Amino acid sequence: MTMDVNYPPETPEEAAATGTLAARIALKQRAGGVVVPVMTALLAFLIGGFVVLATGHNPLLAYRDIFNGAGLNWVFHPTTNVANTAAYNLSQTLLQTTTLILCGLAVAFAFRCGMFNIGGQGQYFIGLYVANWLGYDFAGMNPVPHILLAVGAATLAGALWAGIAGFLKATVGAHEVISTIMLNWIAIWIGEWLFGDGGPLQNAANKTVPISNDVASSAQLPVFWGQKELQGLHVGFFVALAALVVFWVILSRTTLGYEVRAVGFNPDAAAYGGINVKKNLFRAMAISGAFAGLAGALDMLGYLYHFGQSDIPVSSVGFLGIAVALLGRNTAVGTGLGALLFGALLFGTTHGLSSNVIQPELAGNLTYIIQGLIVLFVGADVLILYVWNTRRRLRPRARARAKEAAA
């Protein structure tokens, strides 16, 4: 077969051999640079705005209130005093952002190895459970080793949980999308059992409430902005920022990252290069799970302190991580920004919106509408690129036609 380069490819990647679904999406995404994610987000907000409009409210006012509700207006009057509403709101937004960064990285890392980790939610739960268990059971330990123990073990547990999917993929070829979804359900039902009546992690003092014990104070993360009682921002925020750096360093400055990327782009070429593909599938999945498990640990030790049966079905940060990673194009910077966007949306829509700017029932759901739209448009990324390129291709033709008509 020959490679004829008589005409320039429509996209730089057009001629590239395409591999897995995840690799293909990643490829198309990079072809779009930063334009497409920004367009994707704007389009999602635009359509979300129509939804607000349809309920008879002014979308601009609604978005303004979400912006303020998320504390993003803080930048106009920066202060560290959380008595200030904007500052308090921002600290809450960043609290959400912390979790979302890590859940986003959990998806992004697997993506870079050509896998789609839909199991962030389950891995997050496992991290949460382990952190709760160790945070309660080892009460009275010196705080530093106690926190390190709980965080470390929870991270490892998340890694092992995701590693199951990686192992199945590497050994029997079970598709990671299916197995991670299944593992999510297993994690959910483990939680139901752990916190349910008579469950091993159920509150020892009150045997009738399906809720866990509180994490001992020795395992609680220090709060650096705001007050612990008022759900202040804990030091986990810096851990998440560090995780972004770690993610970048692993991928671009280590041989491990080199292998992951080679396998993600082209497993055949990686194998030819002497890279053990199966080992990398397992390893990348485990590292993904570590990020999600870490997210669960930081949430548990940072501000939740306890968890109940009824909290399980409500939690969806793991899934939001998918949108964060997709919007952030599986890069460190992109994931950070995507997490901030969704953190702001999550917190901004859940409070402070008056019923004359948005239907109260709609407020919280607007986040999910926008999340859904973004996932949809990221899928349609390819479509957006196609339209973009067709336009570019058609323009000279239209010009030629116009010339003809004139002649």
Structure tokens at 22: 């995840």
Structure tokens at 336: 């950070």
CB of residue 352 vs another protein: minimum separation in angstroms?
44
Q: How many residues lie near another protein (CB under 8 A)? A: 40
Report the nearest approach of another protein to the CB of residue 57 (Å): 45
| Closest to another protein by CB, 150 or 270 | 270
Please give the residues from 4 up to 33 whose contact with another protein meets the rule CB under 8 A. Answer: 4-8, 12-13, 15-17, 27, 30
Counted residue by residue, the chain has a size of 407
Would you count residue 349 as binding another protein (CB under 8 A)?
no
Nearer to another protein, 351 or 401 (CB): 401
Which residue in 27, 4, 21, 18 sits closest to 329, CA to CA? 27
Query: What torsion do the CA atoms of 77, 80, 82, 83 make, to the nearest 10 degrees?
Result: -60
Measured CA to CA, the distance from residue 219 to residue 152 in angstroms comes to 12
Nearer to another protein, 73 or 276 (CB): 276
Residue 160 C-beta-side C-alpha neighbours within 13 Å = 10
Residue owning tokens 């399980």: 312
Locus of tokens 């479509």: 383
> Are the C-beta atoms of residues 227 and 88 closer than 8 Å to each other?
no
Segment near another protein (CB under 8 A); pick from 164-172, 189-197, 362-370, 396-404: 396-404
Q: Is 266 in the site for another protein (CB under 8 A)?
A: yes
Q: What are phi and psi of 320, to 5 degrees?
A: -60, -30
Nearer to another protein, 245 or 269 (CB): 269
Is residue 273 classed as helix, strand or coil in its secondary structure? coil
Does residue 272 belong to the site contacting another protein (CB under 8 A)?
yes
391 binds another protein (CB under 8 A): no
| Contact between 400 and another protein per CB under 8 A | yes
Question: Which residues on adjacent β-strands are paired with residue 223?
Answer: 234
Q: How far apart are CA 381 and CA 36, in angstroms?
A: 7
CB 12, min distance to another protein, A: 6
Q: How far is the CB of 266 from another protein (least distance, A)?
A: 5
Binds another protein (CB under 8 A): choice among 171, 252, 310, 356: 252
Q: Which residues pair with 225 in a beta bridge?
A: 233
Scanning residues 201 to 230, which ones bind another protein (CB under 8 A)?
Answer: none
Which segment (74-82, 86-94, 271-279, 316-324) binds another protein by CB under 8 A?
Answer: 271-279
CB of 276 to another protein, least distance (A): 8
273 forms part of the interface with another protein (CB under 8 A): yes
**Residue 389 is a binding residue for another protein (CB under 8 A):** no
Name the segment binding another protein (CB under 8 A); options: 35-43, 92-100, 250-258, 348-356. 250-258
- Cα(151)–Cα(132) distance, integer angstroms: 10
Distance CA 42, CA 64 (A): 15
Residues 106 and 322: their CA atoms lie apart, in Å, by 9
The reply to whether 406 sits near another protein by the rule CB under 8 A is no
Q: Which of residues 126-165 bind another protein (CB under 8 A)?
A: none
34 is a contact residue toward another protein (CB under 8 A): no
Residue with Cβ nearer another protein (101 or 262): 262
Output the CA–CA distances (angstroms, integers) from residue 109 to 112, 114, 247, 352, 378, in the order listed: 5, 9, 8, 35, 17
Residues that bind another protein (CB under 8 A): 1-8, 12-13, 15-17, 27, 30, 252-259, 261-262, 265-266, 268-274, 276, 396-397, 400-401, 404
